[in-house]
Amino acid sequence: MTSMLSQTPLYDWHASHGARMVDFALWSMPVQYASIVAEHNATRNAVGLFDVSHMGRFRFNGPDFEQFLDRIVTRRVAGMRPGQIRYALVTNDDGGILDDVLIYHLRDNRGQLYYQLVVNASNRQKIWDWLEAHRGHGGVGFCDSTVETAMIAVQGPRALEIVRPLSTVDPAKLRYYTGSETEFSGTSGTISRTGYTGEDGCELIVAASAAMEIWEKLFAAAAAVGGTAAGLGCRDTLRLEAGMPLYGHELNEEINPFQAGLGYAVDLENRTFPGCDALLKLRDNKSLPRRVGWELVGKRVPREGYPVFSAGEQVGRVTSGTFSPTLNKPIAMGYIRGDLTAPGTEVAIDIRSHHELARSVRLPFYRRTS
Amino acid sequence: MQPQELLYAKTHEWVHVDRDKAGQKIATVGISHFAVEALTDLVYIELPEVGRNVKVGESLGEVESVKAVSDLYSPVGGEIVEVNGSLPGRLEQLHDDPCGAGWIVKIKMADESGLSELLDYKAYQKQCAEEGH
């Protein structure tokens, strides 16, 4: 089976640095090198390096891309300025979430404007097919650049300082959710002030052939300031603390963006995209379950799928749970009946037949201070 | 205790059988270094109650890590006569000394049938190598 899995350009590095590899969305990815908690804390306190090359990357060159993407995603694409990056959703005709994506509007090193969509690895084929089905017969040309590039997330309070000497564009000069073409050690690539950890930091996209050299340089620089390579295990604990949803857990085709607390990523005024009409009706529907966060009083850890009770009745379900290394207590996200979302609401999470007290909290669980 | 002197369940518990002053066979049970390494980042252990009777293969409690939860299975049958009450407050003992200070329960054996299913150190090492890291 292993031979069926895709490997990122950094696979050999992971394997030779003690990573435990797991099958994730048909990619062989490092889940941890030594300890999830150590990698988590290194990212919160210094810097963590993440190979996120499995994320799908679609590139749009051509005259119709702005209008085309504007008619696909929940966020307005028309009017995006070069350098801007937007978080958005792709929804089906019923308003259910097909994926959550980042849209980049960048200028390449020849001055040509282009768009890029970064999609979840698990949805790469589905979104590709969705784009194909909606392209019509127009001249929209786009390509999947996932395997010819690598993507590296550098996250944490020391992230920008270790990237700065390697990039012609100073990441500190980029505002949050903007990006730019740059050069890393003479190789062109893109840099963006984005991430999925709740920390400051940036993400780099480079040619696959240049990835190892850049990663090695970043790793040496990270190690010198107390940072480390970090796997998908702590990527999950970090994003959970930051209250960020993960597709396949908090998001799926049965969930609409408003339930998920992602109304800010939906522009409905004067828009046309799949699900637009359905979402207009769903916007004010308070009867559906809503996404919330819970903190637990005990030590048992809630996991995906565990039922949530109030007054003896099942009222919700856990979609992600972990022991929070930063807060030193179990935390979870999940969906609950609309009248039980207020912060402080007490519920019982059924953890393998033990009903454990949990309290709703305002997301995120963790917010960085600087 | 040295890892080489212990018997191992396929589910990664170790067992050491001794006799108490009255001549009763007492099984001390813990989890192997391999299991602790595989779990990593332990956050919680649930111990059984003293006095409870357990059957071979029955759950003795659970060990929780950041990533997942694992059941502890009893390799022998009998009455739980002692639990290591220091573990919940000092989980690092499981990592630092899994076959010594990290012991989990002592069971007064009533059913020894489980013992024949256990692996010696060499056979257990082989199983671990096959499971890989």
What digits encode the pLDDT tens for the residues B22-73? 999 999 999 999 999 999 999 999 999 999 999 999 999 999 999 999 999 9
CA distances from B41 to A305, B91, B96 (A): 22, 10, 13
Residue B126 lies inside a defined structural domain of this protein: no
Exposure string for B98-125, b = 16+ CB within 10 A, e = fewer: bbeebbbbbbbbeeeebbeebbebeebb
Whether residue A152 sits in one domain with residue A42: yes
Whether residue A160 sits in one domain with residue A45: yes
Distance CA A288, CA A279 (A): 13
**With 50 as the cut, is the pLDDT of residue A1 above it?**
no
- Per-residue pLDDT of B85-106, as tens digits, reads 999 999 999 999 999 999 999 9
Whether residue A91 sits in one domain with residue A218: no
Domain end: A114, A144, A174, which one?
Answer: A144
Whether residue A227 sits in one domain with residue A157: yes
The structural domain count of chain B equals: 1
CATH of residue B38's domain is 2.40.50.100
Contact of A236 with A210, CB cutoff 8 Å: no
Q: Which residues of B touch A352 (CB under 8 A)?
A: 62, 69
CA distances from A103 to A196, A236, A308 (A): 15, 22, 35
The torsion angle over the Cα atoms of residues A151, A156, A158 and A164, rounded to 10 degrees, is 30
DSSP state of B103: -
Confidence of residue A85 (pLDDT cuts 50, 70, 90): very high
**With 90 as the cut, is the pLDDT of residue A137 above it?**
no
Residue B95 lies inside a defined structural domain of this protein: yes
**With 90 as the cut, is the pLDDT of residue A141 above it?**
no
Confidence of residue A63 (pLDDT cuts 50, 70, 90): low
Whether residue A228 sits in one domain with residue A103: no
DSSP state of B124: H
Residue B130 lies inside a defined structural domain of this protein: no
Residue A349 lies inside a defined structural domain of this protein: yes
Contact of A332 with A304, CB cutoff 8 Å: no
Residue B131 lies inside a defined structural domain of this protein: no
Confidence of residue A139 (pLDDT cuts 50, 70, 90): low
Determine the pLDDT at residue A345: 98
Chain B contact present for A299, CB below 8 A: yes
Name the residue among B40, B43, B88 with its Cβ closest to that of A301: B43
Residue B132 lies inside a defined structural domain of this protein: no
Whether residue A28 sits in one domain with residue A103: no
Whether residue A95 sits in one domain with residue A225: no
Peptide bond into A307 cis (omega under 30): no
Domain end: A93, A110, A144, which one?
Answer: A144
Distance CA A80, CA A252 (A): 27
Q: What are phi and psi of B35, to 5 degrees?
A: -65, -45
Confidence of residue A62 (pLDDT cuts 50, 70, 90): low
Residue B127 lies inside a defined structural domain of this protein: no
3-state SS, residue B98? coil
Residue A42 lies inside a defined structural domain of this protein: yes
- Per-residue pLDDT of A303-337, as tens digits, reads 999 999 999 999 999 999 999 999 999 999 999 99
The structural domain count of chain A equals: 3
Surface-to-core class of residue A64, CB atoms within 10 Å of its CB (0-12 exposed, 13-18 middle, 19+ buried): middle
**With 80 as the cut, is the pLDDT of residue B132 above it?**
no
Note down the domain range covering A64: 57-144
Average of per-residue pLDDT values in chain A: 96
Return left, alpha or beta for A40; rule: phi > 0 is left, psi -120 to 50 is alpha, else beta. Answer: alpha
Distance CA A30, CA B39 (A): 15
Percentage of chain A beyond pLDDT 70 is: 97
Q: How many CA atoms lie within 13 A of B105 on its CB side?
A: 28
Interface of A with B in 300-359 (CB under 8 A): 300-301, 303, 322-323, 325, 330, 352
Confidence of residue A3 (pLDDT cuts 50, 70, 90): low
Residue B52 lies inside a defined structural domain of this protein: yes
Chain A contact present for B19, CB below 8 A: no
Distance CA A157, CA B121 (A): 46
What distance in Å separates residue B68's CA from the closest CA in chain A?
8
Determine the pLDDT at residue A185: 86
Query: Of A118, A108, A203, A206, nearest to A163 (Cα)?
Result: A203
CATH of residue A176's domain is 3.30.1360.120
Determine the pLDDT at residue A140: 66
Q: Quickly list H helices, chain B.
A: 33-39, 92-96, 121-131
Cβ-defined contact of B44 to A36 (cutoff 8 Å) = no
Interface of A with B in 207-226 (CB under 8 A): none
For residues A231-251, average pLDDT: 98
Domain end: A95, A129, A144, which one?
Answer: A144
Surface-to-core class of residue A287, CB atoms within 10 Å of its CB (0-12 exposed, 13-18 middle, 19+ buried): exposed
Note down the domain range covering B27: 3-119
Q: Which residues of B touch A34 (CB under 8 A)?
A: 40
What distance in Å separates residue B116's CA from the closest CA in chain A?
31
